[in-house]
Amino acid sequence: MNSLSLYVHIPFCVRRCPYCAFYHVRPAPGDESAFLNALVSEIEQTLGAAVGPIRLQTVFFGGGTPSVIGRDSWSRIFEALDPHLQPAAEVTCELNPEDVRDAMLSHLRSLGVNRISLGVQSMEEASQRLLGRCSPAMNRRAMEGVRRVFQNVSFDVLLGIPGREPRALERSLNELVGYGPQHLSVYCLEPGGDLGEQAAAFFGAIDSEGVADEYLFSCDLLEGAGFRHYEVSNFALPGYESAHNRCYWNGGEYLGVGPAAHSYRNGRRFHNPPSLSRYLETAGFPPETRYIRDDPGPEGLEVERLMLGLRTADGLEVETLHCPRGAIDAMLMDGLAAVAGGRLRLTNRGFLLLNEIVLKLLSGRPKTETPCCREKNKNCCEQ
């Protein structure tokens, strides 16, 4: 039996936030119905085309904004997924706070969603306006709602918001912790692609030193509140780490469905085109005719192994690094890493310099090609 993870990309969003690099489109009349037909077809074809039965250990609905589609659409998706879901599968759905309604939450839970990732971002009025997000009052209503219905809840927080007062982040984090989430994802704002003039102006106002200070402060506060810092951007109470994202970081196999969704299966990496129109045009075609192959090559795979392994609290076995011992010793001296049980683990300060550390570890090896986007943007591995 093949045990895999599945990422489902819902490409619709009613607006573009200035910091977002994920593929999405503003839905037009008829788009949701056409997309659902194509998505269900891809799910049935993809999961049915594998050699041997597929059982899904995790499912993650991301976007875009998954919460913008209707109840009937959700029901159709789960009709296609149900035959493949393991009984204890982790099923996560991203939600925007303004979309949260009790009826929707109950419907998602009845279908099998058992984990919610809520895009809170901040609890300051000025910051939310700058980010193009909803009011703190709407965040509070949404957090109260998801905590009433779900026992496994994660909140997203953004660091480095331009113009934020020094104590505002502390107030935000303390308030979020007070709502009792099991998990928090803390992301540093940084450019994630060619997003146009609006994004260029937005990211140009970010103070990189201030981002680093906020990151280290957040690590101390959340660890002090009982959260385990198990990955560079993620904190969880014991037993509530994201099983889906751990699949990515541990090199597990996963499939992605929907526009722009990426997959890793049988040693091959491939993805759907980042285009809703192209996705709809090729619906029903054999998978191998739709996918775009990703071939990072041996050097790229090694860079990826280092990046993914060192971004977690588990780190990597020292003997598998095959790098000059002096590079490791220098990191230990600078307080960027520690070695215990034969494994190299980065400290919080080391996480901030993950890209540079990987390049130093590779410095004694033959020159490789320029790392792909996963090495340029330390947060992009979270689909």
CA distance 239 to 206: 34
Phi, psi of 41 (to 5 degrees): -60, -45
Q: What are phi and psi of 293, to 5 degrees?
A: -75, 140
Task: Classify residue 133 by its DSSP letter.
Answer: -
Domain-embedded: residue 255: no
- Report the number of distinct structural domains present in the chain: 2
CATH number at residue 185: 3.20.20.70
Judge whether 317 lies within some domain: yes
Question: What pLDDT sits at residue 382?
Answer: 42
Domain that holds residue 355: 305-376
Element (H, E) at 56: strand 54-63
CB neighbours of 167 closer than 8 A, spacing ≥ 6? none
- 100 in any annotated domain: yes
- Tell me whether residue 293 is in a domain: no
Q: For 163-212, what is each residue's pLDDT tens digit? A: 888 799 999 999 999 999 999 999 998 754 444 555 556 666 677 888 99
End of a domain among 213, 248, 283? 248
What residues contact 29, with CB distance under 8 A and at least 6 apart? Answer: none
Q: Using alpha carbons, select from 6, 8, 91 the residue that is nearest to residue 54.
A: 6
**Tokens representing 275?**
């285009």
- Tokens 């040693």 belong to which residue? 267
The predicted structure's pLDDT at residue 379:
41
Residue 293's pLDDT is 86
Rounded to whole angstroms, the Cα distance separating 90 from 104 reads 19
Residue 25 is classified by DSSP as: B
On the CB side of 118, CA atoms within 13 Å amount to 32
Provide the CB-side half-sphere exposure for 17 (13 A, CA).
Answer: 26
With respect to residue 78, please indicate whether it lies within any of the assigned structural domains.
yes
- pLDDT of amino acid 199: 54
The β-bridge relationship of strands 85-95 and 254-257 is: unpaired
Contact 58, 244 (CB under 8 A): yes
What type of residue is 5?
Answer: S
CA distances from 272 to 11, 103, 225, 266, 294 (A): 12, 32, 40, 17, 11
Tell me the pairing of strands 54-63 and 2-10: parallel
Same domain, 309 and 193: no
- The pTM for the full model equals 0.90
Domain boundary pick from 230, 248, 266: 248
Q: Which of the listed residues 212, 231, 248 is the one where a domain comes to its end?
A: 248
**Residue 160 counted as domain residue:** yes
Q: Phi, psi at residue 123, to the nearest 5°?
A: -120, 25
pLDDT, block means (10 residues), the chain with 383 residues: 90 85 90 96 82 83 94 97 94 97 97 98 93 95 98 96 89 97 93 51 73 96 98 97 96 94 90 94 82 82 90 94 85 95 96 92 56 39 40
DSSP string, 303-349: HHHHHHHHTBTT-EEGGGT-S-HHHHHHHHHTTSEEEETTEEEE-HH
Do 167 and 50 fall into the same domain?
yes
- C-beta neighbour count of 208 within 10 angstroms: 12
Q: Is 342 left (phi over 0), alpha (psi -120 to 50) or beta?
A: left
Neighbours of 101 (CB within 10 A): 12
With respect to residue 257, please indicate whether it lies within any of the assigned structural domains: no
